[in-house]
């Protein structure tokens, strides 16, 4: 799915060409420049304005671009900051898998930022990490960086005293953190479905589990490579710089590993739920068929007896011809034979355990599992 | 499948023998020679003509051969450009898996070029990359290089200013790009099948999914090794040359990874669709059987009552013999007993949830899934 | 599941912030300082008291903290012993997967301590290993270290003569050993279920196996990374120190491998039991349906014969109209025909092996498997 | 299977003991000695004769031994050419998996030579590669080397000008090439089964696919390690010798990879066919049951109406007792009610899509899949 | 399973403590000392006696201990030969997975020795390999080393001229060889089950395959790590010593690989047999249901016709009321209608292929598969 309509109008263009994405919002640029002493935050109309800001600033500049609908703006950014054309092409082709690329002077990172509005959306965030600047480019306005901006503004934590690599880490960490509530949401949904499946309710289970699995697959495709990106960045930072940003990146990598594990667990649970559901459905159908067949089987001999005494053998010709019909209590005899047959069959079925079985098992099962959904959770 | 009739007439020949492929079109040779200043494009009748072109040219020559039906021509090419006999043998045995081989002075690359006409066709393209030449050999006329030729002719992009390795990259990139619409086509087809499966339509699903899976397997066998080829080439280029072609190859490798991921997703989806379809079919059959059995079960007791009063016990002999038959409203009594039985059974079945269940669930299910096909797509 | 409600109130805080865990018990600190000559064991009210203890001690100090409800206390610990802020953050975010991190002067290890009370609980234990101290921090009071404390007090074994790394090993070994009875418990439960499944009992099997699998998944997520932690520690110790603690760690790693293997075996068994159970259920249902259908099938021809002689063809009009009805022994003839039909069908079904089959197979099967549950166990 | 009756009489012998294989044909030795100038080909009665041949020859000697029934002969060979006892033991224990072992002065290679006569047979071929000799030892007379012998005799290709390593390569290449028609045969068989499965024919499918899978497993066990053997030999040759034999070995390795891929594809296809077949069988059985149940369900209400008017309520007692029986057109009324019921049910079933469904789907399915078997093959 | 009751009484003991195993037989010590010139074989009462033997011997000493019920004896052995406490602890905790550990002066190897008496038993054999001694410790008397002892006594083969490492190899090789008949036994059993499954016999298949799979899992857990042990030992020997024992170990490793492959094949076969069996059972049940349903379906219309002419429409009121009842040949007409209906249905069912199908397919299938069990075996 992540492949649909890739570069539809870019077909045949030279590699590194930046094309307008039809319908994409225009670029809105905001810059936060800071060092240990102060913060300067402003909106920027033209890319060329960034030049003076960059020259004035002695600390780190965070340039945030919302909207990729303006190829011209991206080209100018590329020229100003020395970004590689292939990386810029990836910025507008928003179906990249998360990746980390080292272009010498700048690093290029692509991640996916999840949101539920209300359906799962995995917006591409492109991050360029340079010496004293970080550029983040998003598909649309609206992001998960407000907490981070507040930390910069308030000078809380160590961020104001650190370099661009730490800012890049903070951006990535904010994105990874955003996955937590999303993945938790799917865990909750699966648990809710689990409790319904364990209570033998079968409505909508197939479609809901199918939808959850679909989204889990998309999340796995986003988180899996993110894990590798963070591991590669931590390795690169540990060998290149003398700071300890790689410790923070390793921590962030740990979070991605944890998310991946949760996604794996959810996937297994989804698959196990589907199996239990199908087993439930088939159990239930079998139960229905069994009860109906038992009813039919009981009435079959009764109907036979009735049919027997509906025969027209002529009692006038011979006294051996159906003398029962002429007994005083013949009718009661027949009714009695029927009642005995029915009772006998019911007792036989019960002795075989075919009668009370279904309901019996259902009851036990749901009792036994009442405690399960909470069992062993931590 | 990719194995059928390999080297049927080459059996027992020495390794490196080039045999005529029966039915293959004869070779048509076209050369594009270019440097930053100009382009020279011509058809060539005899291989020997290439010699003078090559000597005249100061830039890069792209020799394109359509058709592998002329072993003599290939041998001469091999002699002229110093191509290894084993590589030439692979050119005519068109069942190679994509591979990259380093023969010292020339690199040899085999890829597969996909097309739908209308069935999936994966034509083998053999590429020799030399110092200042690139030779591409295709099974048949018709290829995906027209955009690339235009770029060379118009001098757009950087291609005219670059060396043969970059031309080779451009050729491979063009091939990889051709996979996108093909893979997208299968994604679309699977989504179309998905919407039908979610709407509980079962016609043709098995055969269509079987066919899609067949083609996905073939595509995976083509894209998987392509990925490795590009990764190996990028590594080789990064360590051998001082240019930056490896950055472009890495980008192209990224695309192959993306394609592979899309194929994996499609494969999972196909398998999941098959499961849902089988579950649907079995659900539906169960539903049919249940309704039919319920009808039979309701009529069984009714038939029994009718049979009961069809018995011929002689009311003349004893007043205990079926007095109902002689009641004034006996018939209504019997009809009423039947009606009560039928209504009672229907109510019982309804209370058990056996009656409205199927349709009910169907309805909910299709409602719940109406939104799904578009959910979480990006 | 291990992901639920991670950092709910820590959202947006700077990395390395330690937040209060709502509802977590306050920290209770106990210190055991020992060397080859003696043991000093005491409770500590304030973290600052540890300073003097540490200065006085010439041997190893084991600081055990029960309860993570006091962020202040953890910060002070961090300051006093030079623990990294990110590690301390992991201590209070109790959903870490087991891991080993080298923070230069101290190593940081996270493990999970299993218990059944009565449901599986995997408490996080954080261990800091320093030069001459080991800090263990647990979520709640109550642990598996009493045997270890006794060994230190009594001076049994080599522990009093060894350094902090050996104490850390002893702590990890005690935790790994705690997994044994827990995993054994699930083995026992699965064997009990297996004997019931082999005896064709089907009650509760689905729910019980589902619950066991759930806990096995949680245990695998705890033991798998523990294995890697121990392997990494053994490697680190073998290369860093000249002692032989790595031999003990390797032994402990062996135990984790053994546990993982037992969990794998249990997982396979659980999955195999589920298959057998479903096969049993479906066998049994088939059996029921078969018997019922056989009964119905036998009575169908009998009912037909009865219906035949219930026809009202007028024997007065023609002597060809149902002369049987007027035979002297017509009734006996009909009854005989019915009996012959019934016997014939029963014999036919028996010859086909449709009658005694089910019970027959059941009997053989349960006999054949009586010996199985104990077979091949060691 | 490849394990049966290994070393039955060798039990407890010292490693490296060569035992007679009961029933194995005696050894027949043929030598081809050649250099660029000429070929000398002869049969040899005693191993000792080889000594003089070897001394006389200035080129490469290919000693081919058919039959392993003569342990004495093998021991003498071993002594004469310095072959390791363990390697000779492997020659007579003909259940080795393909392997490549470097015994210093000689290399030892075991491969399997496939044939269909008519069942799959994988004969062990042991190859010793020395400085100027190659010894091939086969279980039985008859091999796939005739083309190779012709090439040596005729001096075609480069073989006469090359060393022993190239001869060894040629032998291995001949063996690998022999797998092609065998694997193709199974591909053909699977396609034939596929076309039958797609046409809904179910006869023999299970047994045939079971047999094909059995043979595919055996082939995979032969080809998989062969691939590794060739890769190891190519690596060893590339690092040891200055020739280019490793390029040929790499080519041969490519062929083994291709074969393995074809086997994987076949395995997937076999498994997919089995699934489709089982789905077909179950579909068809469901179809049968549905049609039969529909017939039964239609006749049930009809039978009820007939039973209704078979009741004996005494119309003489009350005019309300079954007045229909005394209507002039009562019979037609009853027949009409039956006909209407039957038609109504049929229409209801048709509206539900239960009637024409099966055949309808079948038809569409087979139409849709008519084109499939050839789709996407290349 | 291999985990049950590990260290039950050792709980909380210091690592390296050797505890008595309750019920284990006491230790019986036998020593074989040999060099190229002679063999000295004796039973030893006290461990201290070994000291003098060891000092006297100039060659290799093989100390074999049967029974692990005497912790004192093991401690003394450890002291005398410098064995590590952790290794000795592993000797009495008889649930170790096979492993190879290098304790500097001695190597420690744990393997499992299989036997069928009559159930699979995997006895732990601990092997210490020192400079000039090998100590083997077994759980119980009775082993697979008699052939090896004979070889030492008789001086056959090279063993008397080699060092301790070669003796250790011989011990391991003897153990690995013991797996062959055991694994073959399971192959035979599976083939026997296969022939029954192909002949459509279903008795006991589930329980037998379940038992075989259980044992195969245990064997895999024993052979898999054994393979790694032998590979690690071969590597260690190749790099440490200048002898050629690593060639023998590599050969032994090959055997373990072969065993593992056979176990994999058996596992696949078992799983495939289970699938075929379940498919058989379901086929057969479907067949039964189909035949029964066909019988019921044929009698349903017949019963309807009989019911029809059992209706009591009054022919006296109207000549349209069931005139058939008053026809001369009405009865024959009804019987004929029934016969025609029955024949028509039978013909219809036959034309649909519903009648002879089951038996037909069965017959073909068993014919087609008669040749299969032997096909392709070698």
pLDDT band of residue C357 (cuts 50, 70, 90) is: very low
Residues 291-350 on A with a CB inside 8 Å of B are 292-293, 295-296, 299-300, 302-303, 306-307, 309-312, 315, 322, 324-332, 334
Measured between beta carbons, the chain B residues lying within 8 angstroms of A270 are: none
Q: Look up tokens 């044994």; give the residue.
A: C180
pLDDT at E117: 80
pLDDT at C330: 87
Contacts A–C by Cβ distance under 8 A: 198
Q: How far apart are CA C325 and CA C334, in angstroms?
A: 9
Task: Quote the tokens at residue E181.
Answer: 């008949």
Of C119, C292, C332, nearest to A294 by CB-CB distance is C292
pLDDT band of residue D11 (cuts 50, 70, 90) is: low
Q: What CATH number does residue D95 fall under?
A: 3.30.460.20
Residue in B118, B219, B196, B182 with CA at minimum distance from that of residue D371: B118
Residue A186 C-beta-side C-alpha neighbours within 13 Å: 32
Residue E54 has pLDDT above 90, yes or no: no
Residue at which a domain ends, from C227, C262, C277: C277
pLDDT at A4: 43
Question: Are residues A39 and A57 part of one domain?
Answer: yes
**Residue of chain D with shortest Cα separation from B301:** D304
Provide mean pLDDT across the span C263-278.
Answer: 89
pLDDT at B369: 39
Give the least confident one: A294-298, C14-18, D95-99, E275-279.
Answer: C14-18
pLDDT tens across C218-240, in order? 999 999 999 999 999 999 998 88
pLDDT at B9: 55
A18 falls within a domain: no
Of B203, B288, B322, nearest to D364 by CB-CB distance is B203
Which residue of E10, E15, E325 is the best one to mutate when testing the C interface, meaning the one whose CB has the most C CBs within 10 A? Answer: E15
pLDDT at D233: 94
Higher pLDDT, E336 or B366: E336
Q: Look up tokens 């087609």; give the residue.
A: E368
Q: Which chains touch A (3 or more CB pairs under 8 A)?
A: B, C
Residue at which a domain ends, from E123, E140, E160: E160
Q: How far apart are CA B155 and CA B172, in angstroms?
A: 19
Higher pLDDT, A176 or B118: A176
pLDDT at B155: 82
E237 CB neighbour count, 10 Å cutoff: 22
Q: Which residues on neighbouring strands pair with residue B112, listed in sequence order?
A: B124
Residue D27 has pLDDT above 50, yes or no: yes
Cβ within 8 Å of residue C374, ≥6 positions away: none
Residue in B330, B282, B270, B334 with CA at minimum distance from that of residue B308: B334
B345 falls within a domain: yes
Q: What CATH number does residue B323 fall under?
A: 1.20.58.340
Q: Which chains touch B (3 or more CB pairs under 8 A)?
A: A, D
Question: Are residues D39 and D159 part of one domain?
Answer: yes
* DSSP string for D59-91: SEEEEEEE----HHHHHHHHHHHT--HHHHHHH
Question: Are residues D78 and D188 part of one domain?
Answer: yes
Question: Are residues A137 and A185 part of one domain?
Answer: yes
Measured between beta carbons, the chain E residues lying within 8 angstroms of D311 are: 312
Q: How far apart are CA B122 and CA B2, in angstroms?
A: 10
Residue B178 has pLDDT above 60, yes or no: yes
pLDDT tens across B78-106, in order? 999 999 989 998 898 888 889 999 988 89
Cβ within 8 Å of residue D287, ≥6 positions away: D358
A76 falls within a domain: yes
B310 falls within a domain: yes
Q: Which residues on neighbouring strands pair with residue A99, listed in sequence order?
A: A110
Contacts D–E by Cβ distance under 8 A: 195
**Residue of chain A with shortest Cα separation from B307:** A306
Q: How many residues does chain B have?
A: 378
Residues 257-276 on D with a CB inside 8 Å of B are 257-259, 261-262, 265, 268, 272, 276
SS3 of residue E33 by DSSP: strand
- CA dihedral sign, ordered E145, E149, E152, E157: negative
CA distance A152 to chain B (A): 32
Mean pLDDT score across all residues of chain D: 85
Residue C375 has pLDDT above 90, yes or no: no
Provide mean pLDDT across the span B228-234.
Answer: 94
Residue at which a domain ends, from C229, C261, C277: C277
Q: How far apart are CA A105 and CA B85, in angstroms?
A: 44
Provide mean pLDDT across the span D346-374.
Answer: 56
pLDDT at D362: 40
Question: Are residues C129 and C64 part of one domain?
Answer: yes
E186 falls within a domain: no
Structural domains of chain B, count: 1
A108 falls within a domain: yes
Residue D289 at interface with chain B, using a CB cutoff of 8 Å: yes
pLDDT tens across D150-169, in order? 989 988 778 888 889 999 99
Residue D60 has pLDDT above 90, yes or no: yes
Q: Looking at this predicted complex, what is its ipTM?
A: 0.77
Cβ distance of B304 and A307 shorter than 8 Å: no
Provide mean pLDDT across the span A40-56.
Answer: 88
pLDDT tens across C165-220, in order? 999 999 999 999 999 989 999 999 999 999 999 888 878 888 899 899 999 999 99
Q: What is the pTM of this model?
A: 0.82
Cβ distance of C309 and A311 shorter than 8 Å: yes
Question: Are residues A298 and A178 part of one domain?
Answer: no
pLDDT tens across D238-276, in order? 888 878 899 999 999 999 999 999 999 999 899 888 888
Question: Are residues D75 and D221 part of one domain?
Answer: yes
Residue in D9, D373, D321 with CA at minimum distance from that of residue D188: D373
Angstrom CA distances, E332 to B84, C153, C327, stand at 91, 106, 17
Residue in D288, D305, D287, D310 with CA at minimum distance from that of residue D345: D305
Give the least confident one: A256-265, D19-28, D329-338.
Answer: D19-28
Q: Which DSSP symbol is given to A120?
A: E
Cβ distance of B375 and A120 shorter than 8 Å: yes
Provide mean pLDDT across the span E322-337.
Answer: 88
Measured between beta carbons, the chain E residues lying within 8 angstroms of D303 are: 300, 303-304, 307
Measured between beta carbons, the chain A residues lying within 8 angstroms of B265 are: 1-2, 217, 221
- Could you give the angle at which helices B71-81 and B48-56 cross, rounded to 10 degrees? 30
Q: How far apart are CA C325 and CA A96, in angstroms?
A: 89
Q: Look up tokens 């792209």; give the residue.
A: B62
Cβ distance of C14 and A159 shorter than 8 Å: yes
**Residue of chain C with shortest Cα separation from A367:** C204
Cβ distance of C1 and A377 shorter than 8 Å: yes
Question: Are residues D271 and D126 part of one domain?
Answer: yes
- Of all residues in chain D, the percent with pLDDT exceeding 90 is 43
Cβ distance of D331 and E322 shorter than 8 Å: yes
Q: How far apart are CA D341 and CA D339, in angstroms?
A: 5
Residue in B28, B9, B27, B26 with CA at minimum distance from that of residue B18: B9
Q: How far apart are CA E37 and CA C234, in angstroms?
A: 45
Provide mean pLDDT across the span A108-114.
Answer: 95
Torsion, Cα E247 E87 E130 E241, to 10 degrees, reads 40
pLDDT band of residue C33 (cuts 50, 70, 90) is: very high
Provide mean pLDDT across the span E116-130.
Answer: 92
- Could you give the angle at which helices A357-370 and A245-308 cross, rounded to 10 degrees? 160
A334 falls within a domain: yes
Of A96, A97, A285, nearest to B290 by CB-CB distance is A285
Residues 208-247 on C with a CB inside 8 Å of E are 247
Q: Strands C133-138 and C120-129, how do they pair?
A: antiparallel
Question: Are residues C217 and C149 part of one domain?
Answer: yes
Of A14, A86, A302, nearest to B251 by CB-CB distance is A86
Question: Are residues D139 and D230 part of one domain?
Answer: yes
Residues 156-195 on B with a CB inside 8 Å of A are 156-159, 170, 173, 177, 180, 183-184, 187
pLDDT tens across E241-263, in order? 878 899 999 999 999 999 999 99
pLDDT at D289: 83
**CA-based angle B124:B68:B137, to the nearest 5?**
50
Question: Are residues C313 and C230 part of one domain?
Answer: no
Of C156, C248, C317, nearest to E328 by CB-CB distance is C317
Give the least confident one: B19-33, B164-178, C354-368, D132-146.
Answer: C354-368
Cβ distance of B361 and A202 shorter than 8 Å: yes
Q: How far apart are CA B378 and CA A123, in angstroms?
A: 8
Task: Quote the tokens at residue D125.
Answer: 């071929």
Contacts B–D by Cβ distance under 8 A: 199
* DSSP string for B70-107: -HHHHHHHHHHHT--HHHHHHHHSTTPPPEEEEETTEE
Please state the separation of Cα D103 from the chain's center in Å.
33
The range of the structural domain enclosing residue C360 comes to 309-367
Q: How many residues does chain E have?
A: 378
Task: Quote the tokens at residue E359.
Answer: 């038996």
- CA dihedral sign, ordered A276, A280, A282, A286: positive
A93 falls within a domain: yes
How are strands ordered across the β-sheet holding D99-103? D39-44, D28-34, D60-66, D133-138, D120-129, D106-116, D99-103
pLDDT band of residue A9 (cuts 50, 70, 90) is: low
CA distance B131 to chain A (A): 22
pLDDT at C374: 39
Q: How far apart are CA C124 and CA C92, in angstroms?
A: 9
Which residue of A238, A313, A327 is the best one to mutate when testing the C interface, meaning the one whose CB has the most C CBs within 10 A? Answer: A313
Most confident of A323-332, D216-225, D365-374, E353-362: D216-225
Mean pLDDT score across all residues of chain E: 85
């Amino acid at each position: 799915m992540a492949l649909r309509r890739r570069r539809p109008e870019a077909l045949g263009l030279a590699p590194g060409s930046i094309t307008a994405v039809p319908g994409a919002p225009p670029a809105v640029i905001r810059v936060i420049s800071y060092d240990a002493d102060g913060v300067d935050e402003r909106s920027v109309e033209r890319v060329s304005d960034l030049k003076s800001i960059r020259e004035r600033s002695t600390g780190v500049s965070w340039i945030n671009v919302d909207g990729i609908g303006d190829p011209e703006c991206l080209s100018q950014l590329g020229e100003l900051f020395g970004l590689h054309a292939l990386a810029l092409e990836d910025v507008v082709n928003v179906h990249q898998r998360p990746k980390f690329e080292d272009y010498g002077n700048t690093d290029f990172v692509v991640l996916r930022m999840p949101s539920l509005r209300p359906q799962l959306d995995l917006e591409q965030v492109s991050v360029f990490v340079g010496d004293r600047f970080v550029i983040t480019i998003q598909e649309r306005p609206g992001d998960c960086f407000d907490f981070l901006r507040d930390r910069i503004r308030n000078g809380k934590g160590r961020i104001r005293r650190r370099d661009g690599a730490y800012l890049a880490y903070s951006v990535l960490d904010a994105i990874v953190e955003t996955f937590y509530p999303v993945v938790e949401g799917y865990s909750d949904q699966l648990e809710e479905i689990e409790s319904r499946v364990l209570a033998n309710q079968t409505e909508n289970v197939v479609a809901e589990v199918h939808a959850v699995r679909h989204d889990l697959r998309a999340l796995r495709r986003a988180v899996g490579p993110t894990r590798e990106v963070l591991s590669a960045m931590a390795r690169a930072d540990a060998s290149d710089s003398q700071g300890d940003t790689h410790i923070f990146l390793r921590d962030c990598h740990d979070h991605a590993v944890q998310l991946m594990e949760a996604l794996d667990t959810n996937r297994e649970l989804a698959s196990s739920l589907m199996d239990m559901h199908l087993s439930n459905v088939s159990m239930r159908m079998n139960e229905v068929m069994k009860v109906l067949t038992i009813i039919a089987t009981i009435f079959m001999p009764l109907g036979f007896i009735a049919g027997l005494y509906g025969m027209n053998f002529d009692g006038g010709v011979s006294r051996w011809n159906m003398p029962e019909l002429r007994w005083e209590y013949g009718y009661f005899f027949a009714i009695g034979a029927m009642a005995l047959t029915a009772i006998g069959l019911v007792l036989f079925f019960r002795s075989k355990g075919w009668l009370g079985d279904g309901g019996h098992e259902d009851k036990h099962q749901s009792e036994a599992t009442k405690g399960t959904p909470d069992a062993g959770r931590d």
